[in-house]
Amino acid sequence: MAVLRLYRLIAFLAAPLLRFRLRQRAAMGKEDPSRIEERFGHASVQRPNGDLIWVHAASVGETNSILPLIDDLLTQYPNSHILLTTGTVTSAEIIAAHQNRQNKTCRRLIHQFAPLDRSAWVKRFLAHWRPQAALWVESEIWPNTILACAAKKIRPVMINGRMSPRSFKRWRRFSHTAKHLLGQFSLLTAQDEISATRLQKLGIENVVTPGNLKLDAPPLSVNPRHFEELQQALADRPVWLAASTHPGEEEQILEAHRMIAETIDSLVTLIVPRHPERGDAIADILRHGHASFAQRSKDETMQADNEIYLMDTLGEMGLAYRLADIAFIGGTLVPHGGQNPFEAAQLNCAILHGPHIVNFEILFDDLAARGAAAEVTDAATLATQVNALFNNRAAIDQMRASAKQYSATMGGVRQRMVDLLAPFMEGQNG
């Protein structure tokens, strides 16, 4: 497999470049400088005694989906320890907050940043942690890590696997390599039938579809005091939300806000960026657009003359969804592929989205089929749709009810996943 040999050679030679890039990312706030050595496989804490399961979740979405399942596993296997690795600072902060809330079980949950996919670093990581099993969330397929696990007789499980059209096209070009790497997995659980079919077309047989783990998470939490404070600050003003926005979308949101405000008095637009560290850059966009706004990360309270509230804080999406009846899902007006709309559905929002929905295409289609979601194409159509909903209370209520009803039918995935993972947790019940 020439492609795999070339990849391994490049990874071997790239060590200086990878170190330089990590230092760059640390300077930008995208890596934790105090824990940078974890990215080279150096553990920052001791390994606990006994069996240990390694779970890897790349970023925020994967982390939020796997934490409830980790809680289930730690509860069912009271003598187990779980090592959870991620690749972003934001996901680490989410895990720390979760550990504070779930203190009893999360004393057995350890977080580390994942080593980059270079053989020496992965081998160092595995030598320290010695996991009995590895559970990797969604589409994390790192060749050197897979092969290092195979050398240790560890065959990973893919959790909530997703195979996008782009990834499928790329892997089909190297089908022999794909079959070799994916064949190292002992089990692949796909989040939908389309992903399962694509995996099978790559020659993988041990694929099952227990459902989408992201659709069986509890509703996002909220601080009741903060919710009450903001409800009072917003009074009876009409509010809509742009959730999980990406670069290139905030300008369009501001443009849409201007159009809607022409006919909707006292309009408030909430903007919650996917990455809170972009808050100051978004604030600059709003200033340049002469918008009156308050920025939550600066402890600025919403005033009567503010038209936009920039919620650039971590872990408050549940608060934002509860404040608005209409939610636009970000990552869909730019070619990112979209963020998960299910959290909005759980919290009773009428859902709008742009055309770029490949990451959650089935979910968006299901919501649209039930009258819970509608597509827009740009700032103008977004403004038209929001305006129409504000002028038709019955339409908002119908979309919200349909979204909530759909979300209520999606339970049971976590228990099915716990059952499927039982063989890999053997020996951990003491």
Active-site residues, by number, are 62
* CB contact at 8 A, 109 and 69: no
Hey, what's the torsion of the CAs at 422, 426, 429, 430, to 10 degrees? 170
Distances (CA, A) of 256 to 182, 238, 263: 44, 15, 12
| Nearest alpha-carbon partner for 41 in 99, 113, 89, 137 | 113
Give the whole-angstrom CA distance, residue 192 versus residue 418: 18
Structure tokens that stand for 281 in this block: 């850059």
Q: Which residues contact 151 (CB under 8 A, 6 or more apart)?
A: none
Give the whole-angstrom CA distance, residue 113 versus residue 425: 23
The residues pairing with 85 across neighbouring beta strands, listed in sequence order, are 56, 112
105-131 CB burial, b ≥16 within 10 A, e <16: bbebbbbbbbbbbbbebbbbbbeebeb
Give the whole-angstrom CA distance, residue 270 versus residue 309: 5
- What three-state secondary structure class fits 211? coil
Could you give the count of Cα atoms lying within 13 Å of 198 in the half-sphere of its Cβ? 21
Structure tokens that stand for 16 in this block: 């200086």
How does DSSP assign 280-345, residue by residue?
A: HHHHHHHHHTT--EEEGGGTPPP-TT--EEE---TT-HHHHHHH-SEEEESSTTTTT-----HHHH
Alpha-helical (H) ranges within 183-296 are 193-201, 224-234, 250-261, 279-288
* CB contact at 8 A, 160 and 189: yes
Give the whole-angstrom CA distance, residue 246 versus residue 329: 10
**Would you tell me how many other CB atoms lie within 10 Å of the CB of residue 330?**
25
